[in-house]
Amino acid sequence: MVNIKVPLNPVQKRGLWPPKGGREYPVLDTDDWWKIAAREHMDAWALIEFNFQTHVPEEVNWYLRELVGCRHSRDGGRNYAFLGADPKLRKIYLPAVPPPPPPKPIPWPDKLKKLQYEVEHSNDPQKERFLCMLKAMENRRDDRVIFLVHHSPGPRVGCSAWR
């Protein structure tokens, strides 16, 4: 005989069944709490707690019989298994999939300042050109650059970022 204990205040009487925000999962005869939890990347007892708000095995058995329709055991009669559960009831609930965490912000201004420092202290013949591009990027403008030296003759040297 399966170990059963009626909970003092069952989840269905408290309006907690089905669990809020849960995804319905029709259990298979081959399922058990640990297989389902492993597929969901969670602890089996956390899954049981999500469904029945208890960690007491005897209460879990009562919920499995009453809410999931389980009638058979695979461990010599200590606990109910999903095997042969009532087709009308045979479902549990999985927690909603949490949204992925937001991407970590790139410390863009710090990286830009470091690059600008390296360019300023370099001997690169294109140094002015790179500094002009970095300035345009720092001001969040288009990084395409027009070099005035190519368009107007004379001693003026400089750049203008497209607006």
pLDDT in tens, 1-48: 899 999 999 999 999 999 999 999 999 999 999 999 999 999 999 999
Report the pLDDT averaged over residues 138-157. 59
How many CA atoms does the CB half-sphere of 80 hold within 13 Å? Answer: 24
* Burial (Cβ within 10 Å: 0-12, 13-18, ≥19) of residue 100: exposed
Residue 155 has pLDDT above 90, yes or no: no
Q: Please report which confidence band the pLDDT of residue 159 belongs to, taking 50, 70 and 90 as the band edges.
A: low
Query: Which pLDDT does position 151 carry in this prediction?
Result: 55
Is the backbone of residue 17 left (phi > 0), alpha (psi -120 to 50) or beta?
beta
How far is the C-alpha of 33 from the C-alpha of 70, rounded, in Å? 13
Q: What is the DSSP letter of 135?
A: H
Q: Quote the strand ranges of 58-143, DSSP E.
A: 72-73, 80-81, 91-94
Model confidence, pTM: 0.61
Report the pLDDT averaged over residues 103-114. 80
Tens of pLDDT, residues 45-94: 999 999 999 999 999 999 999 999 999 999 999 999 999 999 999 999 99
Instruction: Pick the more confident residue, 89 or 103.
Output: 89
Instruction: Pick the more confident residue, 63 or 103.
Output: 63
